[in-house]
Chain A
Amino acid sequence: DAKTTQPTSMDCAEGRAANLPCNHSTISGNEYVYWYRQIHSQGPQYIIHGLKNNETNEMASLIITEDRKSSTLILPHATLRDTAVYYCIVRLYNNAGNMLTFGGGTRLMVKP
């Protein structure tokens, strides 16, 4: 699995967009980018994943650069409940089991 680099922590004002960057310069062509988050005292929660196209769902948008060496998770209108550790994971997705490797993640603090 390709290594990812994320800032240790970030702050965001409530109601504003939160943009969380992730660097994965060694990503290979068939590896996906996944984002999970972990709210304090809870298990991780899946947010979104993508290969090379930008993706959007009800929680967030994922923007992947054309060279796929970095990506940004966007929470369009952050709320206090979005305060969590956000993990960017790069992994090959196939039928052989999706054994995720979580790094240190980014601790996002949403402030009123």
Chain B
Amino acid sequence: DTGVSQNPRHKITKRGQNVTFRCDPISEHNRLYWYRQTLGQGPEFLTYFQNEAQLEKSRLLSDRFSAERPKGSFSTLEIQRTEQGDSAMYLCASTRRGQDYEQYFGPGTRLTVT
């Protein structure tokens, strides 16, 4: 396994701009999860995909947040009209079919909104 990768690792943007983050899961992992982590807190679940289907999105923080996984491989998380409160680490994790108990996390994308 080459591990879960996330790009970019760091993103600085001005308030009001749109940002998009990419997550490449481990090959053949069918589920993909997105979390957000603010300073000093544990990760907070946002959404997840099984293959290309987004099966849970009610925890996305607002309608400014959206995610896609168009071909069931990589995923993108987009934040529109960023606010300073969106500054956080955005983490992606993937799991192997039948082994959903073990989530493999990427290194995260740190977003700073100025």
Contacts and interface: CB of A to CB of B under 8 A. Distances in A.
B111 interface: no
Contacts of A103: 42
Contact of B101 (A45, A46, A99, A104): A46
Contact of B108 (A43, A97, A98): A43
A42 B100 contact: no
A34 B43 CA distance: 14
Interface residues of B, number: 26
A57 to B, nearest CB: 11
B33 interface: yes
22 contacts: A34-B101, A43-B105, A43-B106, A44-B93, A44-B105, A46-B102, A49-B101, A85-B42, A87-B42, A96-B55, A97-B31, A97-B48, A98-B31, A98-B95, A98-B100, A99-B48, A99-B59, A100-B35, A100-B45, A102-B43, A103-B42, A105-B42
Interface of A: 32, 34, 36, 41-46, 49, 85, 87, 93, 95-105
Q: Which 3 A-B pairs have the closest CB atoms?
A: A102-B42, A43-B105, A98-B100
